[in-house]
Structure 1
């Protein structure tokens, strides 16, 4: 027992030394003593004590300046979240739960950009977990993700200001991981294969104290919260890709979301995220739709998706009564590696489709219904142009008769649709606000303004520009964790869609739907997140 306490005290000293560069001086202090965790007043007197053999622990301040501590019982492995009460005289238990199935070698807390408290539990066999904690004590801790870390880590600490998790690995050095669960990646920032453990700890302490947090050159994106999420897609891995919103003609709250599972087919979700229909049409990548199209005496709602195995367009009809989707036709495009797509209403009131190829080609097809053959459809090539490299996301701005296309490496191009020989112009280049890969595009058009939203996949954010030239930047945002509803944030977004229609409830001013490349809370297959446009407008002052 003495040896366990001695090791605990040594680790506590390390944690406190590393925390010196992270945590401000407090009027009341927590420390690990011989009998357990001790709360002391400013004059050093013992106020309260948690008598427990403690294996690991860490601390943070809450929004009111009170001290929070996370400790692990050395015997049972249980984890306890505690708070020093405002009177400074007692420790209150906020949560208690079983530790992970593996042996925990290190733990450390993290306060993220939203102000949410998170916990890293590092295993001795390279398995680790990240958890979301509720400081109010009303909700149980929830796992955000699993991650691979060094075997037998010597120490860990998070520098909140840079959202970075640092892990010391004996015989190697210091690793830096992204602390944000929506991001990935690690790199070795301090190689040290020669020092013994004590010397390595001293070097790490000095490195953290001396290395400044890098200052961002652009304002941090605002954080908006999702209000709902769809059920995860059926396929594993990188599967969800692109959504399209169908607006119910009479009751907005009954609107639907079409979402591609690019390995299996097309799913249809309601606004609560429940899957209502699935069409196993194969590897479709992007989908888009338009409503109230004129074909003869009929008014039709049509959706189009790119079928990658057949290099074709899949045409769907959508029932105007209940949103039921059915396949109508498969139309060849002549493209070699069909990829992205968007659609728009043409001057005749019918539908034009704009599929693109990975080689940079973009083609415009006019979809026609054969008057002789009942139910027959055809696609007539109208024009073709090429971008320098791979495009994918695009959107048709019918109000101004222009097409916006995202070239993943360079930015957003604009093409005039009312000029037959118009050539694309690069109008929004990649910048500090718009990182490559440039992915999904959509337009919000209302009396309050016309805005172009672009997925900035390279930094897991979204940029909002004025849809009209010169396309001034109005701000950037990220989609964060809605802890109250148990919905994780969004990252690595491919496709997105946006409507300004009144869909009721939180979506009275419109709805933004984005693909989420990393499903957390809990970890699972990819899905789509729903965000009220009002959230975006409020945060960016639109």
Structure 2
């Protein structure tokens, strides 16, 4: 999820999120969200639709690309699932639309773009370039795009290695089951200058470390370095075992991820569990930084309603600041280099901030929400967000926050919609620091 820091010292990244069907919002979680400070959006994109009336685009995850030569001409690159990629200017106007790849065969899964992240100043694509890297859940692959704001054909050009192999699957049949590439975070190792993508797997606890590799003709491929499986079940303080409720056969997946480049630490959001801290090279032992409120609550899945419902009272083993799902994780970096790990708390439509001055003490610091104004509605059921703490010209001189809205204002014809909201980062910083 997710955005990334620019080459400037103050640049940073922020957010992402996704909905688990059937999740319920506890009353105490909603009340906690209402008590947090609110920020409002300045602009919004045109609504996207995913329905039976011809729409196949569902807003998910944004990334902010800063044009160092002309900050006013910076871009927001966002995934639209089966609708592919959308590229917006700073007025939230669409400047490019790229389709997701077609299915391998008529009955196979179509391309489905889930998360996007950026790699800056890489020589991978034949010349030193910025890249947008996308997880294609539909085909279980990464897609890579070179960014050139001055290209008359559009700022993004597909440079994916045509021979790129599936990440987790061994056959098209497995790909069609969609236990495929899901969450995404990029990372460049400062010691080696090698660039990587960390990719999670849908319906599984697996995270893979992929090295991005230059191929002939200026294309970009990848190779798997190693994988890691986070726990699927947990020992509670009373000695019992607990596993998050879900559909039969589905394990508690990870989506939101971010790497702190200052120390090579990966933060990974296991949606129904909490936030993990571990090494970005996937070695060592993961540490659970914070838990969702629902952690440890017994629940059962009902096939008819497609929902999980508690089967016993809350035993009180969960956290206080996150309501499942925990989705977007990113870094909010301040001018002095300090800042926060920022997590999207989807269950109560809020964001939680954790101290990142020391990697072994991520103390909760504050929270906020993105609320409606007289002109633009707020963000609910966020599927992704991003922040860049760097000047972006006259529109956003102190930086920009972009959040996905999973419940955009319905169209005039009543169609459900999703979209992205653009928020002046100065509002967020004021809310965080008050």
* TM-score for the superposition, normalised by structure 1: 0.57
Tell me if structure 2 keeps the 8 A contact 1:295–1:349: no
Distance 1:369 1:291, change over 3 A: same
Query: Structure 1 stretch 507-516 or stretch 445-454: which is displaced more?
Result: 445-454
Tell me if structure 2 keeps the 8 A contact 1:441–1:497: no
Once the two structures are superposed, what CA deviation does each residue of 1:464-494 show, in whole Å capped at 9, x if it has no partner? 22223312222111111121xx110111002
Shift of 1:338: 1.8
Are 1:457 and 2:346 an aligned pair?
Answer: yes
**Structure 2 partner of 1:413:** 276
**Structure 2 partner of 1:29:** none
Once the two structures are superposed, what CA deviation does each residue of 1:150-190 show, in whole Å capped at 9, x if it has no partner? xxxxxxxxxxxxxxxxxxxxxxxxxxxxxxxxxx9999xxx
Which structure 2 segments of 5+ residues have no match?
1-22, 101-110, 170-178, 232-251, 293-318
**Structure 2 partner of 1:503:** 392
Are 1:333 and 2:167 an aligned pair?
Answer: yes
**Structure 2 partner of 1:241:** 60
Distance 1:277 1:307, change over 3 A: same
Aligned partners of 2:264, 2:79: CA distance in 1, in Å? 27
* TM-score for the superposition, normalised by structure 2: 0.70
Aligned partners of 1:451, 1:185: CA distance in 2, in Å? 28
Query: Which aligned pairs between 1:112-511 and structure 2 lie closer than 5 A?
Result: 216=31, 220-236=35-51, 239-281=58-100, 282-295=111-124, 298-319=127-148, 321=150, 324-329=155-160, 331=164, 332-335=166-169, 336-346=179-189, 347-358=191-202, 359-370=204-215, 373-388=216-231, 389-417=252-280, 421-430=283-292, 431-448=319-336, 449-468=338-357, 469=359, 470-483=361-374, 486-505=375-394, 507-511=396-400
Aligned partners of 2:47, 2:31: CA distance in 1, in Å? 34
Aligned partners of 1:267, 1:214: CA distance in 2, in Å? 33
- With CA pairs under 8 Å and 6+ residues apart, which has the higher RCO, 1 or 2? 2
Tell me if structure 2 keeps the 8 A contact 1:243–1:260: yes
Shift of 1:215: 11
Shift of 1:334: 2.4
Once the two structures are superposed, what CA deviation does each residue of 1:499-533 show, in whole Å capped at 9, x if it has no partner? 11211235222211111000027665200111122
Aligned partners of 1:482, 1:304: CA distance in 2, in Å? 33
Tell me if structure 2 keeps the 8 A contact 1:513–1:531: yes
Which structure 1 segments of 5+ residues have no match?
1-183, 188-212
Once the two structures are superposed, what CA deviation does each residue of 1:364-395 show, in whole Å capped at 9, x if it has no partner? 1001113xx32243311122111222111111
Once the two structures are superposed, what CA deviation does each residue of 1:24-45 show, in whole Å capped at 9, x if it has no partner? xxxxxxxxxxxxxxxxxxxxxx
Distance 1:531 1:214, change over 3 A: closer
Tell me if structure 2 keeps the 8 A contact 1:385–1:423: no
Shift of 1:402: 1.2
**Structure 2 partner of 1:78:** none
Shift of 1:454: 1.0
**Structure 2 partner of 1:114:** none
**Structure 2 partner of 1:535:** 427
Distance 1:351 1:214, change over 3 A: closer
Distance 1:422 1:241, change over 3 A: same
Secondary structure of 1:508's aligned partner: coil
Aligned length in residues:
329
